[in-house]
Amino acid sequence: MEAFIKQFGIDWRLLASQVVNFLLVLVVLRVFVYKPISVLLRERKERVEQGIAKAKEADLRLQNVKEMVRDRLREAEAEAMSLLGDAEVKAKEREGVLLESSRRKGEVLMQEARRTIDTEQEKLRAEFEREARTLVRTAVARVVEMDPERVDDSLIEKALTGVMKHA
Amino acid sequence: MHEIFLNAEPLFFIGTYPFTNTLFASVLAVGIIALGSYVLRRMYAEVPGAAQGIVEFAYEEFVGLMDSVLDSRKKSEHYLPFVVTIFVFILVSNWLGILPGVGSLGLVEETGHGHSFTPLLRSPASDLNFTLALAILTVVAINVFGIMSIGAWKYASKFLDFSGPIHFFVGILEFISEIAKMISFAFRLFGNVFAGEVLLVVIAFLVPFGAPVPFFILELFVGFIQAFVFSMLALVFIAIATTQHASEHE
């Protein structure tokens, strides 16, 4: 054993020195590397998790807002449809009223027109009568002035043509 | 070709205490790690730069790896400093041994037979004092973690079980296995790194230009793998030590 120890140069003081070196490295790495890195990674992980949570929350909010918008749109659409229906009903009512009013006005106008026509007819008839009387009077006067034997058919014909023209 | 010794060469003595070139390299490794850590600490920012990004990535990867072994994020974060420190310390020590100047810069002394050359720096893991120190520390720490995790009495029952002759014998085997762990930890790392040093010296002696380059790359890889193996074995032993086995509940 002694030969082995001598051959390999094993010395407990060197062993202890190497152990101290290792412990120094352990302490240094612990202080400067492991702890800061683990803290950094943990904080980053937490931040990422928070970010994901916030993103999920935002997603949820967005969905809610979309749902709300959809509801509002549906409500607005329903309201618009209802307003449109009302407007149609009102328009129909108004149309009926207007039609009725127009019809009445038309009737009034027709009556007035008829009255005017009747008046005009009356006037024409009266004038025609007056003309006819004048004609007849003229014809009678001429007949009276003429000799019956001289009244021939051509004169009668003339008289009648004159009557027809005045009519 | 300069002589290759199994034991580390002392650079000077403080009383009877030998300050060896491997210890010097180990102190240098501590200095490099401390300086790097300090510089890194000053660079920490909300938005990580390249160095911080690499460290964060490595940290996350280690935690993930430890999660897969320990099956608990809390336990992983608790034991991570110890396991990762083993990895970093061995890695930096191994890679330090491949740097130009290490092994070639040293002290020349006149002796009765001529000149003797003592390298100023030598890969720490090519000295059994370094690997054995880490092995002892690791095995002790594993047992301490076990005691802290499942309680001294329950943990001691792993070694001292008088419920039957077979259990008692298994307890003795467990105790021997702890010593075997130390030896395997120490000699695996020592053997690989020392062999690598010898290989580099021999190749550099035979073909000084060009030929050592692939072996340097190989040593970089071996240095990484050995650091990883040491730390992963420590992790697995921690996982075993801190877990209550079903038979222990009965």
What is the ipTM for the molecules in this complex? 0.91
Q: Is B183 on the interface with A (CB under 8 A)?
A: no
pLDDT at position A100 over 80: yes
Judge: A19–B133 Cβ closer than 8 Å, yes or no: yes
Tell me how many residue pairs between chain A and chain B have CB atoms under 8 A apart: 111
At residue A26, the pLDDT reads 96
Assign A149 a pLDDT band (cuts: 50, 70, 90).
low
**Residue with the larger pLDDT of the pair B24 and A140:** B24
Among B27, B38, B55, select the one facing A37 at the smallest CB separation. B55
Residues 6+ apart with CB under 8 A from B112: none
At residue A148, the pLDDT reads 59
Judge: A34–B18 Cβ closer than 8 Å, yes or no: no
At residue B2, the pLDDT reads 66
Phi, psi of B100 (to 5 degrees): -60, 135
Question: Range with the lowest mean pLDDT among A10-24, A137-151, B43-57?
Answer: A137-151
Judge: B40–A32 Cβ closer than 8 Å, yes or no: yes
Judge: B55–A11 Cβ closer than 8 Å, yes or no: no
Q: How many Å lie between the alpha carbon of B35 and the closest alpha carbon of chain A?
A: 9
- Burial group, residue B131, by CB count within 10 angstroms (0-12, 13-18, 19+): buried
Q: Is A27 on the interface with B (CB under 8 A)?
A: no
Per-residue model confidence as pLDDT tens digits over A34-53 = 999 999 989 999 999 999 99
What is the value of pTM for the model shown? 0.74
**Residue with the larger pLDDT of the pair B188 and A161:** B188
Q: What tens-digit pLDDT sequence spans chain B (250 residues)?
A: 567 778 888 888 898 899 998 999 999 999 999 999 999 999 888 888 888 999 999 999 999 999 999 999 999 999 999 999 999 999 999 999 888 877 778 788 777 777 777 888 888 999 999 999 999 999 999 999 999 999 999 999 888 888 889 989 999 999 999 999 999 999 999 999 999 988 988 898 898 888 888 999 999 999 999 999 999 999 999 999 998 765 544 4
At residue B1, the pLDDT reads 57
The distance from CA B180 to its chain's CA centroid, rounded to whole angstroms, is 16
Judge: B26–A18 Cβ closer than 8 Å, yes or no: yes
pLDDT at position A95 over 80: yes
At residue B95, the pLDDT reads 94
Q: What is the mean pLDDT of residues A110-126?
A: 92
At residue B63, the pLDDT reads 94
Q: How many Å lie between the alpha carbon of A60 and the closest alpha carbon of chain B?
A: 29
Q: Which residue has the tokens 């005009």?
A: A120
Contact B166, B214 (CB under 8 A): no
Q: Is A109 on the interface with B (CB under 8 A)?
A: no
Q: Is B57 on the interface with A (CB under 8 A)?
A: no
CA dist B22 and B123 (Å) reads 6
Question: Which residue of B17, B73, B85, B89 is the best one to mutate when testing the A interface, meaning the one whose CB has the most A CBs within 10 A?
Answer: B85
At residue B10, the pLDDT reads 85
Q: How many Å lie between the alpha carbon of B134 and the closest alpha carbon of chain A?
A: 7
Q: Which residue has the tokens 């082995």?
A: A4
| Residue A114 parent element (H or E) | helix A35-145
Delimit the domains of chain B by residue range.
Answer: 10-249
Q: Chain A partners of B59 at a C-beta cutoff of 8 Å? A: 33-34, 37-38, 41
pLDDT at position A115 over 90: yes
From B116, B127, B101, select the one nearest B8 (Cα to Cα). Answer: B127
Delimit the domains of chain A by residue range.
Answer: 2-166
**Residue with the larger pLDDT of the pair A33 and A153:** A33
At residue A28, the pLDDT reads 96
CA dist B99 and B222 (Å) reads 14
Q: Is A51 on the interface with B (CB under 8 A)?
A: no
Judge: B80–A34 Cβ closer than 8 Å, yes or no: yes
